Structure 1
Amino acid sequence: MSNSFLERANPPPRRKTCLACTKAKRRCDHGQAACLRCSRRKIDCVYPTPPTSRSKRQTAPKLIETPAPQEDPERSTGTPATCPDNSLVPWQQDADLLQLDMDGLDGIGLYTDFHDFLAPDVLFDGTSSLSPLTSSPEQMLLPSQDLAADGSLEEMISSRLQYALDEMNKVPASTVLENQAPWSHPYLYRAHMPREMQDAQACCALYIAKNSSNSRFVLRTIQARAHELLSSPTPRDRLSILARLQAALLYQIIRLFDGDVSLRASAQQTLPALDGAMLALMPFVKWERARPETGPAEDRSACPTKETWQEWIFQESARRTVFFTGFLLAAYNVLVGKISSDCQGGHFTGLSWTLSAHLWEAPDVVAFAVAWGEKRHFVVTRECFSDVLKDAGADDVDAFGRILIVGAMGIDEARLWFHNRGGSL
């Protein structure tokens, strides 16, 4: 009986044939340790190595054999470098994690510190970064430890800024009840109030009526109007541009200092919008040159008319609004412990405003003309503020000036300054 007949009578199962049977194109019975054909012919019976399963090719040792090179922590936060294709091993969703070989992970370090995940830029932007970002308002949540360590930050806030905060808390009420703010003349919108300021004034009315029952509705409405204003295009006429900046200022004051966490976070993210609103107003503002003292007027032909009074109301409101916006941005940096170049006067370079309660509080053009001709008024800049304080009297200072005097001197020194001039803070 031939060998071929015996091999055909015992058909093998569906398995891989040995290399000799494959080469001879003969049927293999897959016998162990040698198949029948190879044992009869006394040749080496070698079976091909079974291929590894897909799941076994995707185990952790493959990943650990080529660990990623250690990089500098700050470089790891940038744009990730491209990797060769052979280093990317697809992960199987049903892979058994318990079979991972963890011994090779001992040398792999985690370069991200736990505190970096708690940084304000992570909380607000949703991205982690080990390198400090630019000085954006989104980071102003936690005070820096170097300022707060010796108590100098708390002392600065209580001495120089608390008075301004108390006055700012009164602004929503004065906007509604008196149609004015320390930076907005009560007659500024006498002829026409732009839509931007109408909405802001209505929100101020809602805010001063806020209680425990309607608080959520009121704050949600203010938040919606603030986002609507800041996302709207800049108007073209100068009164609407000024109204837009003043409305944004009101929304930011309410949202920053109300105490609601979500409002404050939103206001911090939109603080840079105040810079853009200021820049839009700048071309329409006439900045006076620094003169420590002006008046009484000697040239009666230059006495104000009704038109010049109305123009002065707009210009002085615009000057004060821009100046106070810069003050708010610098003061809020201090409140969160972030002293920068802006806090040292970067927002105030080249700006001026008029220190004269007599001009600002004049009820009509006649009283304004009398004050212009008979009372002193001071053009104040950052550079000459200290010189103005030497010559000005207590009755020359209005609410706007009081805020800035306390911010410059401190509450105790400011009280002494007013007392020595026959007034009180």
Structure 2
Amino acid sequence: MIERLETKACTNCAKSRRKCGKQHPTCLRCRNRRLSCNYPPPKPTSFVPLLEDATPSAAITGITLALPSPLDLYLPVIDTHSASSWFASPLTWAIDPPPQSLTSNPSRFSSSDFTRSLQHVFQWLTQWIKAGSCPFIHRQLYRTYFPPAIQSAYTSLSAYLHKTPANAGIVCTIIEGRATQLVADGLLDFSSISTISTTETLDNLSRVQALLVYQCIGLYDGDLRLRRLAEQHIPVMEDWVGVLMQQASQTLSFCSTPAFATPIPMSGAEEFQPLAPSPLGPDTFPSSHHLWFAWILAESVRRLWLITAGLQGLYKLFSNPNPTKPCMGGTMFTSRQGFWEAPSAGAWEKRCTERFAGLVRLTETDKLFSMVPKGELNEFARLVLQCTFGLEWCEMVGV
């Protein structure tokens, strides 16, 4: 006879009569509330399996039921301060060099790959103007703090999308001036600050996103001055996104401590508060929202890196006969549908507990396809795979 043990709710959840996720070593509810999570000793159930049930398949079923939840498998937890380690640990910020098979065989790409990818990203930017979000600008990112740089980029792009033949010259002049001024202003310098807050990182993220908007307009439009300006800013864009990756990795290493302060929804509401000059303190919002915004910030930075690497890498490949380093390399990103699109912190956390987020390195395609069904890859993952491996390869593997 196989003895089965029944796992009870932790003492905190049982005392408050709340549903316990029963994750080990700490359940999700206790982790979010930074409580000490303790489980009572498990007791054998009264269930006695029949002899005919004692088959290899039945044994496997029993083992499967005893496995930890997906959250435990992909959110390694040492204590309640490391709930974000699955997406914010130093290892997750490493940049992987492009595989040798790609750098030695650039013929798998054509100029049409760049054109198609740029058009796709431009459609996303149009979506951002119309709906307030797109696959690399999250709808919650600027709900409480909308930095001036990204405001200017938003209005410039909106003017560009609605330009007419009569005012096209004026619009292009405005975009040229704003892009030039943005680069002249540069990123905020935090070299003398020991701890970088999320407000400062968010400000620099907005500047790099704004420059990407101007880069896409310049490379997309037929205006010679805008294209020349975009070409001049290619190394600037690469430098900026590299600095941003370093700053974000430093900031998010504190994202499970009280030092991490960021604009997060107030308790009891999924909508952000009106625009404010400075973010709310960490004690004014539930830790579930806190963790969600940390992930949004990390994922936004990584997606910005990958968009920059893909678009500018392809452009350099075809604009320069012998580019020294066309590809910047890849990084980790969330490839599965439903996480970026989650409407609330609660929905995002529920998604995390139910399935693997698909946070893998761009070079680990075998791991990606083994853990995420190809039909559940998000559209950002599909475009990044096309920019990295080519459309023919993506069609061959069925993505």
Corresponding position of 2:301: 318
Candidates 194, 207, 222, aligned match of 1:259: 222
Q: 1:390 Cα deviation (Å)?
A: 4.3
**DSSP-derived class of the 2:339 partner:** helix
Q: Quick check: 1:200 aligned with 2:153?
A: yes
Q: Indicate the structure (1 or 2) with the bigger Cα radius of gyration.
A: 1
State the partner residue of 1:216: 169
Aligned equivalent of 2:134, options 171, 181, 197? 181
Q: Determine if contact 1:241/1:281 at 8 Å carries over to the other structure.
A: yes
Question: For 1:268, which of 231, 235, 245 is the aligned residue?
Answer: 231
Aligned-pair CA distance for 1:341: 5.0
Give the structure 2 partner of residue 285 of structure 1.
248
Structure 2 gaps, min length 5:
1-105, 191-199, 253-286
Query: Could you tell me which residue of structure 1 aligns to residue 340 of structure 2?
Result: 360
Partner of 1:334: 317
User: Is 2:367 the counterpart of 1:387?
Assistant: yes
Where 2:142 maps in the other structure, the secondary structure is coil
Deviations 1:236-293 (A, max 9, x none): 51111000000001101101121111111111112211123123312332399xxxxx
Q: Which amino acid aligns with 2:318?
A: L
Distance 2:172 2:305 in 1: 26
Hey, what does 2:283 align to over in structure 1? none
TM-score, normalized by length of structure 1?
0.54
Match of 1:124 in 2: none
Q: Aligned runs of 1:46-85 on 2, under 5 Å?
A: none
Q: What SS does structure 1 have at the residue aligned with 2:159?
A: helix
Query: How far off its partner does 1:413 sit?
Result: 4.2
Give the percent of matched residue pairs that are identical in Structure 1 and Structure 2.
24
Aligned CA distance change for structure 1 residues 155 and 359 (closer, same or farther; 3 Å): closer
CA distance in 2, matches of 1:404, 1:282: 18
CA distance 1:190–1:280, shift in 2 (3 Å): same
Tell me, in whole angstroms, the C-alpha distance in 2 between the residues paired with 1:361 and 1:191.
19
Aligned to 2:329: 348
Deviation string 1:31-64 (CA, Å, 9 cap, x unpaired) is xxxxxxxxxxxxxxxxxxxxxxxxxxxxxxxxxx
* Preserved CA contact (<8 Å) 2:118 2:311: no
Tell whether 2:381 aligns with 1:410.
no
Higher relative contact order (CA 8 A, sep 6+): 2
Asked whether the equivalents of residues 285 and 318 of structure 1 are also in contact (C-alpha less than 8 Å), the reply is: yes
Distance of 1:339 and 1:271 partners within structure 2: 16
Mapped to 2, the partners of 1:253 and 1:308 lie a distance apart of: 31
The alignment partner of 1:342 has SS state of: coil
1:43-93: CA deviation from partner (whole Å, max 9, x where unpaired):
xxxxxxxxxxxxxxxxxxxxxxxxxxxxxxxxxxxxxxxxxxxxxxxxxxx
Pairwise CA distance, 1:382: 3.8
Matched, 1:165 2:165: no
Distance 2:348 2:242 in 1: 30
2:220 maps to amino acid: F
Residue correspondences, number: 250
- Equivalent position of 1:246 in the other structure: 209
- Residue 227 of structure 1 aligns to a residue in which SS? helix
Amino acid at match of 1:348: G
Question: Are the aligned partners of 1:163 and 1:411 in contact in 2 as well (CA < 8 Å)?
Answer: no
**Are the equivalent residues in 1 in contact too, given 2:118–2:216 (CA < 8 A)?**
no
SS at match of 1:353: strand
Task: Give distance in 1, aligned partners of 2:146 and 2:237.
Answer: 20
Q: Quick one: distance in 2 between partners of 1:307 and 1:202?
A: 29
Residue 358 of structure 2 aligns to a residue whose secondary structure is strand
How far is 1:196 from its partner?
A: 0.4
Q: Structure 1's 238 and 201: CA in aligned 2 closer, same or farther, altered over 3 A? A: same
Q: Which residue of 2 aligns with 1:38?
A: none
Structure 1 339/355 Cα, relative in aligned 2: closer, same or farther at 3 Å?
farther
- Among residues 144, 148, 160, which one is paired with 1:191 in the alignment? 144
The reply on whether 1:227 has 2:227 as its aligned counterpart is no
- Structure 2: distance between partners of 1:307 and 1:415: 39
After superposition, the C-alpha distances for 1:383-411 in whole angstroms (9 at most, x for unaligned) are 31343134422343222111112223433
Could you say which residue in structure 2 is the equivalent of 1:156?
A: 110
| Alpha-carbon shift at residue 153 of structure 1 (Å) | 5.9
Measure, in 1, the Cα distance between the counterparts of 2:248 and 2:376. Answer: 23
**What is the CA–CA distance in structure 2 between the aligned matches of 1:310 and 1:209, rounded to whole Å?**
32
Instruction: Note the aligned Cα RMSD (angstroms).
Output: 2.6
Which runs of at least 4 in structure 1 moved beyond 6 Å after TM superposition?
none
Q: Give 2:237's aligned amino acid.
A: L
Q: Cα deviations across residues 206-262 of structure 1 (Å, max 9, x unaligned)?
A: 011012111111111111110111101422511110000000011011011211111
- Cα distance 1:319–1:250, how it changes in 2: closer, same or farther (>3 A)? same
User: Could you tell me how far apart the structure 2 residues matched to 1:240 and 1:381 are?
Assistant: 26
